Amino acid sequence: MGIKGLTKLLSDHAPGCMREQKFESYLDRKVAIDASMHIYQFMMVIGRQGDQTLTNDAGEVTSHLQGMFMRTCRMLEAGIKPVYVFDGKPPTMKGGELAKRKDKRDEAEAALAKAKEAGDQEEIEKMSKRTVRVTRQQSQEVMQLARLMGLPVFEAPCEAEASCAALCKAGLVYAAASEDMDTLCFACPKLARNLMSPASQGKPILEFDYEKILTELDMTWEQFIDVCILCGCDYCDSIKGVGPVKAVSLIKKHGNIETLLQHLDTEKYPVPEDWPYKEARELFKHPDVVNTDGLELKWTAPDEEGIVAFLVGEKQFGEERVRNTLKKLKAAKGKSSQNRLESFFGAVTVKSSTTGKRKE
DNA sequence: AGTCTGTCTCAAGACGGC
DNA sequence: GTGTCTTGAGACAGACT
DNA sequence: GCCGTCC
């Protein structure tokens, strides 16, 4: 769910941190992507009629592969260098939130069964969308595909967002591409939203610059995190009656949650019992992430025969379709390196001073 | 008036042939 | 060992300061 | 551009 109302908060209090970017400016840029989110979307949407999705003869779902294959090709064709990061175990603090979601899904499952019995097509469609889940095997198939396509792939120890942020902090990628605003709490230098929208919706890429957030809010990282916790995050409840607006003014006034609590009229604003805001803060400050020490990211040419063996051989994709898509990719590759210099000179100036990527 | 809460809604991919 | 997560925006009504 | 199809 991210941070409630953070986009609006930032556009009100730190407008300079947001900037629209052209899709073309991402040529040759490395970006870290939370793959799990994309998989989920594809499962929900691709090739479904009623409760059917795309499958091979063995009945294995292939929607996620169809979607990821096409999308990855589109990115590579555009000269973007994606790194895919997969979710690991969710932090235990998220347990409450997850339990709620599970309840909802169980409900939807019951409704789905009922709808099937009644033969209510529309209801079946709706409910089956709500019961979608991504299995471990499906994630691993996407990893396999991504590796065959020559991309770096990571299985994050915990939340993918946190590891994407870590890759960006380490200077290994230009930005984390995500729709989830939590990424910024992990002090991710750059967050790019709508990266994949241009083709489908014509939305421009929206970049958030972490340093500018702190400058314009005139806050430290810790204070920004405190504001986000007050707004409402996945890790703990927030104080009723306190939303984005009060969160900012309270932190500005008192500096941190501890001090703020001493001055808060708890009659009006009841603080949750045993409120684990410190633990939430800790998760944002020191998340469990992939180790970036000495890490080098490499992109290699797609293994065409490997991809065909997997998608066509195992998953029954149309061979011609797959080969055609890969052919287009090859054609675009030459172009991309030709354009590299031009686009570099045309590009916005990039500061390299902020991240100390050298380590003794 | 401004603010927060709750609840509800919706929509969510991409290609290729016509 | 095993199992496993969606998300965001917008609209609107109602309640509180 | 809409619409059926992708597996």
Ordered DSSP codes for A165-199: HHHHHTTSSSEEE-S-GGGGGGT-SEEEESTTHHH
Written as six digits, the tokens of A5 are 């109302």
Closest by CA to A161, choosing from A347, A55, A22, A3, is: A3
CATH of A6-215+289-319 given 3.10.20.30, 3.90.1150.10, 3.40.50.1010, 3.30.750.200? 3.40.50.1010
Phi, psi of A209 (to 5 degrees): -105, 115
Q: Which nucleotide is nearest to A41 (CA to C1')?
A: B12
The residue type found at A278 is: K
Query: Whole-number Å distance, CA A228 to C1' C13?
Result: 26
Query: Whole-number Å distance, CA A360 to C1' C6?
Result: 41
Written as six digits, the tokens of A120 are 């209510």
* Sequence ranges of chain A with CATH classification 1.10.150.20: 219-285
Query: Is 1.25.40.20 the CATH classification of the domain at A219-285?
Result: no
**A291 C-beta neighbours (distance < 10 Å), count:** 10
Angle between the N-to-C axes of helices A210-217 and A6-13, in degrees from 0 to 180, rounded to the nearest 10: 60
In this complex, the answer to whether residue A138 has its CB under 7 A from any atom of chain D, a nucleic strand, is no
CA distance A50 to A125: 5
Classify strands A205-209 and A190-193 as parallel, antiparallel or unpaired: antiparallel
CA distance A283 to A279: 6
Give the pLDDT score at A267.
80
The answer to whether residues A163 and A186 touch, using CB atoms and an 8 Å cutoff, is no
CA distance A290 to A299: 18
Q: Which nucleotide is nearest to A97 (CA to C1')?
A: C5
Task: Please report, in tens digits, the pLDDT of each residue of chain A (360 residues total).
Answer: 588 889 889 988 898 998 888 888 899 999 999 998 889 888 888 888 777 889 999 999 999 999 999 999 999 998 999 999 999 988 887 776 677 667 767 777 877 787 777 776 667 777 777 778 888 999 999 999 999 999 999 999 999 999 999 999 999 999 999 888 889 999 999 999 888 765 556 678 889 999 999 999 999 999 999 999 999 888 888 888 888 888 999 999 999 999 999 888 888 888 888 888 999 999 999 999 999 999 999 999 999 999 999 999 999 999 999 999 999 999 887 766 655 544 444 443 333 333 333 332
Give the pLDDT score at A358.
32
Query: Whole-number Å distance, CA A37 to C1' C7?
Result: 9
Phi, psi of A19 (to 5 degrees): -150, 135
Give the pLDDT score at A346.
43
Compute CA distances A31 → A83, A173, A178, whole Å.
6, 5, 10
* Sequence ranges of chain A with CATH classification 3.40.50.1010: 6-215+289-319
Q: Which nucleotide is nearest to A135 (CA to C1')?
A: C4
Query: Whole-number Å distance, CA A127 to C1' B9?
Result: 15
Sequence-ordered list of residues with C-beta below 8 angstroms from that of A239, at least 6 positions apart, any chain:
A230, A264, A269, A270, A271, A272
Q: Which nucleotide is nearest to A242 (CA to C1')?
A: B4
Q: What is the DSSP letter of A237?
A: -
Query: Whole-number Å distance, CA A229 to C1' B9?
Result: 27
Give the pLDDT score at A139.
93
Compute CA distances A191 → A102, A205, A300, whole Å.
29, 10, 25
Give the pLDDT score at A203.
72
> What string of DSSP letters covers A107-172?
HHHHHHHHHHHHT-HHHHHHHHHHT----HHHHHHHHHHHHHTT--EEE-SS-HHHHHHHHHHTTS
Query: Whole-number Å distance, CA A43 to C1' D6?
Result: 13
DSSP 3-state assignment of A51? coil
Give the pLDDT score at A200.
56
The protein side of the strand C contact, defined by CB less than 7 Å from any of its atoms, consists of: A 1-2, 7, 36-37, 40-41, 44, 86-90, 98, 101-102, 104-105, 129-130, 133-136, 179-181, 234, 268
Q: E strands along chain A, which residues?
A: 18-21, 30-34, 81-86, 153-155, 175-177, 190-193, 205-209
In this complex, the answer to whether residue A62 has its CB under 7 A from any atom of chain D, a nucleic strand, is yes
**Euclidean distance between the first and the last CA atom of chain A, given in angstroms as a whole number:** 38
In chain A, positions 306-345 with C-beta closer than 7 Å to nucleic chain D are 315-318, 321-322
**A115 C-beta neighbours (distance < 10 Å), count:** 21
The answer to whether residues A90 and A105 touch, using CB atoms and an 8 Å cutoff, is no
Residues in chain A: 360
Query: Whole-number Å distance, CA A100 to C1' C12?
Result: 25
